[in-house]
A = this chain, B = another copy of it.
Amino acid sequence: MSKPAKPFVPVAVLEAVADYFKILSETSRLQILQSLRSGSMNVMELCEATGLGQANLSKHLKVMTQAGILTRQARGTSAYYNIADPLVFEFCELACGQIGDRLQQQAKTFLQAAPFPPNDRTANKTTQSQKTTSQKTPSQKTREKAPAPTSHIRN
């Protein structure tokens, strides 16, 4: 393999970006962020909210604080953590939207490929869940309201 062509952006920058996303690529950390969304919490409170162990929490909190995503404030024997980088919620919201869109597309693909005609399947489902005698209109409404994953920024 020859040397890479001149990169558009220094690899060091890409590394920093990758590091940023790495921090967000853990469910536990997203749970922490979700819990802190509504306001400052200490470690014990975060333990209860997330179900994570204290030592594990401390570890994650340290990483996130050093990365500048959280701030820490010691008060007595407690340490309170707060969101320092609200951009993370925007990231999660965008990602949720994208994943939802993709699931919708996949659902559509499966419905079209199903051995039953889409209308038969959809109507069957709609009739059960909505208990309406109308088969055409509800089936269209159900399609439009296909559930995208709700963003975790909403309490």
Contacts and interface: CB of A to CB of B under 8 A. Distances in A.
Interface secondary structure of A, over-half rule: helix
Interface of A: 1-5, 7-11, 13-22, 24-27, 29-31, 34, 37, 47-54, 68, 85, 87, 90-92, 94-96, 98-99, 102, 149-152, 154-155
A23 to B, nearest CB: 8
A25 B98 CA distance: 17
A34 B9 contact: yes
Q: How many copies does the complex hold?
A: 2
Contacts of A48: 1-2, 4-5
A8 B51 contact: no
Given A1-B47, A3-B51, A16-B99, A155 B21 contact: no
